[in-house]
Amino acid sequence: MEATLHQGELPLATGAHEHLFDTITNLTGDGLCLAEMITDAEGRAVDYRFLEVNPKFEAFTGLKDAEGKTALELVPGLEHHWVDTYGRVGLGRETLRFENGSVPMGRWFEVCASPAPVFGQLFILFRDVTRRKDAEEANLQALDRAQHLLSELNHRVKNSLTVINSIISMEKRKSSEDVGRALDRVGSRIDAVRGLFAALSDTGSVDRVCSGTYLNRVVDGLQGAVVIEGRIVIRAEIEEIELDAEQAVSLGLVVNELVTNAVKHAFPNGRHGTIDVKFCKDGDALVLCVTDDGGQAPAGAGTEGGLGSRLIKAFAQNLDADIETDASDRGTCVTLRFRPSGNP
What DSSP line would sit under 266-296, residue for residue? SS-TT--EEEEEEEEEETTEEEEEEEE---S
pLDDT band at 32 (very low <50, low <70, confident <90, very high): very high
Top mean-pLDDT range of 101-105, 156-160, 330-334: 101-105
Is the per-residue pLDDT at 35 higher than 60?
yes
pLDDT band at 207 (very low <50, low <70, confident <90, very high): low
Contact 118, 10 (CB under 8 A): yes
Instruction: Give the Cα separation of 150 and 145 in Å (integer).
Output: 9
**What pLDDT score was predicted for residue 246?**
82
Which of 229, 275, 270 is CA-nearest to residue 255?
275
Which one has a higher pLDDT value, 36 or 224?
36
Which one has a higher pLDDT value, 278 or 163?
278
Measured in whole angstroms, the distance separating CA 221 from the mean position of its chain's CA atoms is 27
Contact 224, 234 (CB under 8 A): no
Mean pLDDT, residues 245-259 taken together: 85
Measured in whole angstroms, the distance separating CA 117 from the mean position of its chain's CA atoms is 46
Q: Which amino acid is at 60?
A: F
**What pLDDT score was predicted for residue 249?**
81
Is the per-residue pLDDT at 313 higher than 50?
yes
* Domain architecture of the chain: domains with CATH: 18-128 (3.30.450.20), 134-338 (3.30.565.10)
Is the per-residue pLDDT at 174 higher than 80?
no
Write the CB contacts of 280 (distance below 8 Å, at least 6 apart in sequence): 237, 239, 241, 286, 287
180 backbone dihedrals φ, ψ, rounded to 5°: -60, -40
Residues facing 113 on adjacent strands? 96, 124
Percent of the chain scored above 70 by pLDDT?
Answer: 73
Contact 239, 212 (CB under 8 A): yes
Q: At what angle do helices 245-265 and 177-203 cross, to 10 degrees?
A: 150
Residues facing 336 on adjacent strands? 288, 323
Is the per-residue pLDDT at 226 higher than 70?
no
Of the CA atoms within 13 Å of residue 205, those in its CB half-sphere come to 18
What's the Cα-to-Cα distance from 199 to each of 8, 134, 158, 248, rounded to whole Å? 69, 33, 10, 10
Of 183-197, 229-243, 273-287, which gets the smallest average pLDDT?
Answer: 183-197
DSSP 147: H
Specify the pairing of strand 31-39 against strand 45-53.
antiparallel
Which one has a higher pLDDT value, 124 or 181?
124
Of 152-166, 234-248, 249-263, 276-290, which gets the smallest average pLDDT?
Answer: 152-166
CA angle centred on 269, ends 263 and 270, rounded to 5°: 65
Contact 38, 46 (CB under 8 A): yes
Percent of the chain scored above 90 by pLDDT?
Answer: 38
Q: At what angle do helices 307-319 and 245-265 cross, to 10 degrees?
A: 150
